[in-house]
């Protein structure tokens, strides 16, 4: 089954404790991206990747890191999480930036 | 950056009614997509429609790129249509592959 898998689905943690949210897709997509969703603000793109070892900033990259060492994986790293990063996070993939996006089921992060 | 505005922000309809959701954008785009976020939070791609008209069952979408807007039509609404509808665009600018979302239209279908 074609899918985008995010883990964990839910996480409560404390300020400053490094965390990684994994994202994996099995559709051989080249384009992958991360979004955060906050009430009243819709979805905002954090980072995107056009292909392996090619990443670029979206609209809200501060406080986040990404890497794309393999085509199927695109982890989101919060080196020193802060409460303002409490949000619902989505990973998405597609064959290209102008192709239909396929979303994971989301990861709800709470930073205390 | 590009501005993406959706209207109306909220819409409450009786089951069986038709609805039209609008997405306005402030710059030329080469990518426009419509998504449905269901009450469980899942985001489903409905249409990839940078221009023209497409139909999928009770849903159809039209994008008039020259006038910078897109419309999503839902006919004979069902309760399963409830949720938030987003449009998202990428501007026509080589080297920019960012996807910008509108703030959504929340649709509630009452049985």
Contact between A48 and B98 using a beta-carbon 8 Å cutoff: yes
Q: Taking Cα atoms as reference points, which of B91, B2, B82 lies closest to residue B36?
A: B82
The residue ranges of DSSP E strands in A1-112, in sequence order, are 4-7, 10-13, 19-25, 31-38, 42-51, 54-57, 65-66, 76-78, 87-94, 102-103, 107-111
pLDDT bracket for residue B99 (50, 70, 90): confident
Among A33, A41, A50, whose Cβ lies nearest the Cβ of B99?
Answer: A33
pLDDT in tens, B16-75: 999 999 999 998 888 899 999 999 899 999 999 999 999 999 999 999 999 999 999 999
Q: Which of B41, B102, B103 sits opposite A106 (nearest CB)?
A: B41
A42 closest CB neighbour out of B33, B44, B101? B101
> Does position B94 have pLDDT exceeding 80, yes or no?
no
State whether B99 and A100 contact (CB < 8 Å): no
**pLDDT in the model for residue A36:** 97
Q: Is the pLDDT of residue B77 over 90?
A: yes
pLDDT at residue number B89: 92
- Give the model's pLDDT for residue B95: 66
> Which residue in chain A has the smallest CA separation from B38?
A105
Q: Which residues of chain A have pLDDT under 70?
A: none
């Amino acid at each position: 089954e074609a899918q985008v898998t995010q883990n964990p689905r839910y996480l409560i943690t404390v300020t400053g404790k490094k965390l990684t949210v994994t994202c994996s897709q099995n559709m051989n997509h080249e384009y992958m991206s991360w979004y955060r969703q906050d009430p009243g603000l819709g979805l905002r793109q954090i980072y995107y990747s056009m292909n392996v070892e090619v990443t670029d900033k979206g609209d809200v990259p501060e406080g986040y890191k990404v890497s794309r060492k393999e085509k199927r994986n695109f982890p989101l790293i919060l080196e020193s999480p802060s409460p303002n990063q409490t949000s619902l996070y989505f990973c998405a993939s597609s064959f290209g930036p102008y192709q239909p996006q396929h979303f994971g089921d989301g990861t709800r992060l709470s930073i205390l | 950056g590009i501005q993406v505005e959706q209207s109306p922000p909220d819409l409450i309809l009786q089951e069986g009614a038709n609805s039209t959701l609008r997405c306005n954008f402030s710059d030329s785009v080469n990518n426009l997509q419509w998504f449905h976020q269901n009450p469980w939070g899942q985001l489903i791609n409905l249409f990839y429609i940078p221009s023209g008209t497409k139909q999928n069952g009770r849903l159809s979408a039209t994008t008039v790129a020259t006038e910078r807007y897109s419309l999503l039509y839902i006919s004979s609404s069902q309760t399963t249509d409830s949720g938030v509808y987003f449009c998202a665009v990428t501007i026509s600018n080589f080297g920019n592959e960012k996807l910008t979302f509108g703030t959504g239209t929340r649709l509630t279908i009452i049985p």
